[in-house]
Structure 1
Amino acid sequence: MTCSSCSIILPIRDQGLLKIRHPRVSLNLALDGLGILPQQCCEDGIVFKYDSHSELKQLVNGLARLPQEWLLHMEAVAIGLNHVEGYEDWLLFSQLQARIQHADMMSIIRDKSFSSHMQPIVDHNLNIIGFEFLLRPSHSERPFQPFRLFEIAREAGLHAHLDRLARISAIEKSAACLPAGIKRFINFLPSTIYNPAYCLNHTFETIDRLSMNTEDFVFEVVETEEIDDLNVLHQIFEQYRTRGVSVALDDVGAGYSTTELMNCLQPDYVKIDRSLIDGCHRNSDQQRQITGIVESASRFGGQVLAEGVEQMEDFEFCREAGVSLAQGYLFGKPESGPPSNFVLSRVV
């Protein structure tokens, strides 16, 4: 079983052919109206020849003037002149357009020009119990904002591919930097996992290859869009848990990570969003929400973690309210390795 979202990213050649097709609409008359002349028509679409990347970009921009309702379903592929028939990576036109417009970001994903940084997570006694792994540029000359990289990857149909690479990068980094027994919090996008039994194989194969203990891992649900099918997310949680991996719900109290979603999923770890933590020691409304989350999580045995802690007063309120774990600049910024004062004696 394979899917295009997990396949390799084929480079777009400087010279080649652009093919387009539509499942329901004949494009020939529309192209005549735009003044775009195809080189030829074939069984699987209309073919254009281009001789440079700029010419391809200009051609794609011209095709983007077609009616929006047509573009939603139009498919496209760019292939080299010496392409061997048999495999063509057909994409939605909008996905190919995003790959062409953001060639620099595509090269970062294709070359895996990123690494994982580590931010400490502490318990109520300020002992380091684990680290969250966060995607960062691996080369200063190829900078990017992680959120923007994932945003463009989603537009290009590559967010599943990038999400998988980021998980593997984090697992490998944790194997190189941390001893057994330290928790490793790793993000994942549930919308990228179409079939939990298959799509998570790469994750478990990496853990097995490195002879690591699955009980050291906590996988965090990170999602910027509403989760439409909770059954799929339940299946993902079950797949992780049957392999000994814990699960966490990120950003609770903000966006789509509501307390209702938390109570439905009952994660092992509940991470309260930084918007509720910042300044909570002097804000009664934030305090009520934090206390409510702690009380709800206690009913199903979830450990609560405060994110984005920058003031000791906020940490002290959270600790008194029953929040058992914390993370933020107060304890350490994301770094390429564990802090210099990290020693086994500090781990509980």
Structure 2
Amino acid sequence: MSHSHPPHLALIACSDVDVAEPATSALNEALTGILKQQQLRAVFQPILDLRGRAYLGFEGLIRGPEGSLLESPAQLFAAAQEADQLLELERACRETIFKAFATLQLPGRLFVNSSPTALRDPSFRNGATMDLLRGLGLTPSRIVIEVTENQQIDDFPALRDALLHYRGLGYRIAIDDLGEGFSNLRMWSELRPEFVKIDRHFVHGIADDPLKFQLVRSMHDIAETSGAFIIAEGIEREADFTTIRDLGIACGQGYFIARPAATPPTQPEKAALSALSAGQIMVFPNASAGSGMATARNLLQYIAPISPLAPNDKVYERFEADPEIQVLPVVDDGGTPVGLINRHNLIDRFARPFRRELYGKKPCTMFMDPAPLVVDHQLPVQEVSRMVSRASSHYLQDGFVITENGRYAGVGSGQALMALITELQISAARYANPLTQLPGNVPLNEHTDRLLESLSAGGASFATCYFDIDNFKPFNDAYGYRRGDDVIQLLGRLLVGVADNRRDFVGHVGGDDFVILFQSDDWEERCAKALRYFDEQILTLVEPEDLQRGGFAGEDRKGRPVFNPLPSLSIGAVRVLPGQFHTHHEISAVCASAKKQAKKQPGSSLFIERRRPMQQPSPQEGVSSDDEVLSAV
């Protein structure tokens, strides 16, 4: 169900009902009158097939009489729940929607919501609904039943059997509001629906939210594996619509496409069609390192715990039986961890004369650490690492206890923690530069390939611009690496500022090298701004005496004193047109050549490579009349 419109719905007492105010006797009377006099109103919201650029169908929604106490679907279903008339209301909704859909002769499929309880309604299964559809000239093959999980489902086999009955009649099945209910993913696995509707929470703001983006992309991958079609609900912004389009999701629904209406449009409206036809692709939100998703659960190793009442002999036997166990968690009957016993500590104590005879029968709590480090399974590994580093040194050796809802879940070792942190740092360096947090080589190459794929399919051309700081190494040597880092961060902020975050992808490939993949038509003006801004802002990082001299003293590779000009910015640019390039490697090579040409110019400059790849000059050749050089003022 799409929450772009007020809470509904056609055939379900949705979760909004649970928080609605209890219906009064007046509302009960109003509900009875509405049902008897058939005063329900149907409205329809289109569902757009993004690939076919036409409406796949319409979702049938319900409203009470206009201006009445029960016009709101939330109030309507709250009153029905209070009066124990939910099935009667759902049945009336179903008939109202079917009749209105047939009367309007709307094309495509009709999506109607049903609670699991309504699916067992005798009037739905005894042929009455089939007779109604037949009389209206509709076939079950045009009807999609949206199963909404408004209450916990305990009997999946029964629900699966019910849906098997409807499938046998020709109906199609959809899961509504994926991500909102009690066990949506299990529903997907058990029911194998033809359509899956992603809850609007995950769709609204997806263009800007890396986590939502990754979650929806994962849902899309599952759909591809299971053969289901994804419908993204609650699309209200063009940026979200374009992101959904570029993810390859099949269908969309929401205010940006069309609002619910008693007489909905049968053809997509201009805004949606324009967004579909736009040749430019969205810059996906940057999930940078991806390490934020790693938690203590990634470190969890389950070791069967021992009771606080167990004797030390029992602990010794456990260690002897399994040489791999380095620690043994002590957990009480309620599942609460109370201590941790270190293997070497216990064995060392028992190795002393008569210690085992004296203490073997004593409770194991005698030799345990009564205050182990305890972390929740959802705690990010970075936070776990900080806790371990700040605690006593023995925690790194002993490890820590991992809990879930306060109950013992397993243990984690300091060695495993350090290995994971190192792995995440290596991975992070490939996906995001640690200094600027801008995307690194991997996402940059992926976005270039997306642009090339879009270009080959008729999309818009783009420009690739390589940014490099002149005289950076001498400046770094003279001023120190901290000031050098300041220059790199300055350039990173500057480039983010001149780029359009929706159209232009800013990447940091390492050191003082940056790349922008421009889809903005005015990319040359933006590059000119970057040159001007850099020349202005670099002055704030130069000492006054060097500013007066127009440069700074340094040494060449042979140790001889030299005078270096102040850092400047060189940009090598190439316009990528259809048929010119096939891989990001080819573009990178041409950009690197263009950057070398820019660096030959004094001061900050932009060199635009206008020749085709096969016409590239050798390093000894100069600038041709086809190329363009722009120097900063």
Q: How does 1:33-182 map to 2 (within 5 A)?
A: 102-125=28-51, 126-141=53-68, 143-179=70-106, 182=108
TM-score, normalisation: structure 1: 0.65
Structure 2 alignment gaps of length 5 or more = 1-22, 274-633
What does residue 203 of structure 1 align with?
129
- Counterpart Cα distance in 1 of 2:141 and 2:88: 25
**Contact 2:48 2:268 (C-alpha < 8 Å) held by counterparts:** no
Helix, strand or coil for the counterpart of 2:259? coil
- Counterpart Cα distance in 2 of 1:188 and 1:323: 24
What does residue 283 of structure 1 align with?
209
Shift of 1:200: 5.7
Change over 3 Å in CA distance of 1:304–1:151 after alignment to 2: same
Asked if 1:315 corresponds to 2:241, the answer is yes
Shift of 1:218: 0.8
Q: Which moved more, 1:189-198 or 1:231-240?
A: 189-198
TM-score, normalisation: structure 2: 0.37
Shift of 1:144: 2.3
Helix, strand or coil for the counterpart of 1:282? coil
Q: Structure 1, residues 45-73: CA drift from partner, whole Å, max 9, x if none?
A: xxxxxxxxxxxxxxxxxxxxxxxxxxxxx
Match of 2:110 among 166, 184, 189: 184
The one-letter code of the counterpart of 2:111 is: F
**Contact 1:306 1:326 (C-alpha < 8 Å) held by counterparts:** yes
Change over 3 Å in CA distance of 1:124–1:198 after alignment to 2: closer
Q: Structure 1, residues 86-113: CA drift from partner, whole Å, max 9, x if none?
A: xxxxxxxxxxx97677322232233222
Change over 3 Å in CA distance of 1:257–1:202 after alignment to 2: farther
Shift of 1:269: 0.4
Change over 3 Å in CA distance of 1:154–1:202 after alignment to 2: farther
Shift of 1:155: 2.7
Change over 3 Å in CA distance of 1:136–1:194 after alignment to 2: same
The one-letter code of the counterpart of 1:154 is: Q
Shift of 1:188: 1.3
Asked if 1:337 corresponds to 2:263, the answer is yes
- Counterpart Cα distance in 1 of 2:178 and 2:45: 19
**Contact 2:115 2:148 (C-alpha < 8 Å) held by counterparts:** yes
Change over 3 Å in CA distance of 1:256–1:178 after alignment to 2: farther
- Counterpart Cα distance in 1 of 2:39 and 2:191: 34
Change over 3 Å in CA distance of 1:287–1:253 after alignment to 2: same
Shift of 1:193: 3.4
Larger RCO (CA within 8 A; separation ≥ 6) = 1
- Counterpart Cα distance in 2 of 1:172 and 1:155: 27
Helix, strand or coil for the counterpart of 1:133? strand
Helix, strand or coil for the counterpart of 1:332? coil
- Counterpart Cα distance in 1 of 2:70 and 2:255: 22
Helix, strand or coil for the counterpart of 2:207? helix
Match of 2:182 among 256, 265, 280: 256
Match of 1:222 among 148, 159, 168: 148
Change over 3 Å in CA distance of 1:194–1:241 after alignment to 2: closer
**Contact 2:223 2:229 (C-alpha < 8 Å) held by counterparts:** yes
Structure 1 alignment gaps of length 5 or more = 1-96
Change over 3 Å in CA distance of 1:232–1:133 after alignment to 2: same
The one-letter code of the counterpart of 2:59 is: E
The one-letter code of the counterpart of 2:81 is: R
What does residue 474 of structure 2 align with?
none
The one-letter code of the counterpart of 1:166 is: C
Helix, strand or coil for the counterpart of 1:122? strand
Identical counterparts, % of pairs: 27
Shift of 1:147: 2.3
- Counterpart Cα distance in 2 of 1:198 and 1:131: 21
- Counterpart Cα distance in 2 of 1:213 and 1:149: 29
Shift of 1:204: 1.6
What does residue 14 of structure 1 align with?
none
- Counterpart Cα distance in 1 of 2:93 and 2:126: 13
**Contact 2:114 2:148 (C-alpha < 8 Å) held by counterparts:** yes
Asked if 1:272 corresponds to 2:201, the answer is no
**Contact 2:30 2:70 (C-alpha < 8 Å) held by counterparts:** no
What does residue 328 of structure 1 align with?
254
- Counterpart Cα distance in 1 of 2:66 and 2:31: 13
What does residue 159 of structure 2 align with?
233
The one-letter code of the counterpart of 2:184 is: T
Asked if 1:295 corresponds to 2:221, the answer is yes
- After TM superposition, which residue ranges in structure 1, 4 or more long, deviate above 6 angstroms? 97-101
Change over 3 Å in CA distance of 1:313–1:266 after alignment to 2: same
- Counterpart Cα distance in 1 of 2:180 and 2:163: 21
The one-letter code of the counterpart of 1:285 is: L
Larger Rg: 2
What does residue 244 of structure 1 align with?
170
What does residue 231 of structure 2 align with?
305
- Counterpart Cα distance in 1 of 2:25 and 2:167: 36
Q: Which moved more, 1:146-155 or 1:238-247?
A: 146-155
Shift of 1:223: 3.4
Helix, strand or coil for the counterpart of 1:102? helix
- Counterpart Cα distance in 2 of 1:201 and 1:99: 34
The one-letter code of the counterpart of 1:185 is: F
- Counterpart Cα distance in 2 of 1:294 and 1:200: 36
**Contact 1:186 1:217 (C-alpha < 8 Å) held by counterparts:** yes
Shift of 1:270: 0.1
The one-letter code of the counterpart of 1:157 is: D
Shift of 1:183: 1.0
The one-letter code of the counterpart of 1:219 is: I
Change over 3 Å in CA distance of 1:194–1:160 after alignment to 2: same
